Amino acid sequence: MLALVAAASAAPLLTAAPAQATVLGNPTGCHAWKESTTSGMGVCTAANRGKWRVGVSCTDRHYYYSQWTGYTEPRRARCGGGTLTPGVDPWIDTMET
């Protein structure tokens, strides 16, 4: 009977772990900047098991993005045509995984 009681009291500890992982799902410390007239760069200082990418708006009326990443190295997004749209700064998109 003692084994059943010990197993029952251990169950709540197992359900707490996934809730913790959910809290840590988004990248943090992110910022983006204009690198040139045709590209922007961005970085997140902590990925927290999430993904992020940098995006830019260009005068060819399209948006361009870096690949989604879970790493903390800077990433670049370049216009496929035209230049960066005046008044629209590069940005970071984040995604929980």
pLDDT reported for residue 11: 39
Instruction: Label each residue of 27-92 as H, E or C.
Output: CEEEEEEECCCCEEEEEEEECCCCEEEEEEEECCCCEEECCCECCCCCEEEECCCCCECCCCCCEE
pLDDT at 44: 94
Which residues of the chain fall short of a pLDDT of 70? 1-25
If DSSP codes are grouped into helix, strand and coil, which group holds residue 1?
Answer: coil
- Name the token pair of 68: 């989604």
| Residue 68, amino acid | W
Q: Residue 47, class by beta-carbon neighbours within 10 Å (0-12 exposed, 13-18 middle, 19+ buried)? A: buried
Task: For the full predicted model, state whether its pTM sits above 0.75.
Answer: no
What was the pLDDT predicted at 13? 38
Q: How far apart are CA 75 and CA 10, in angstroms?
A: 43
Quote the pLDDT of residue 51: 93
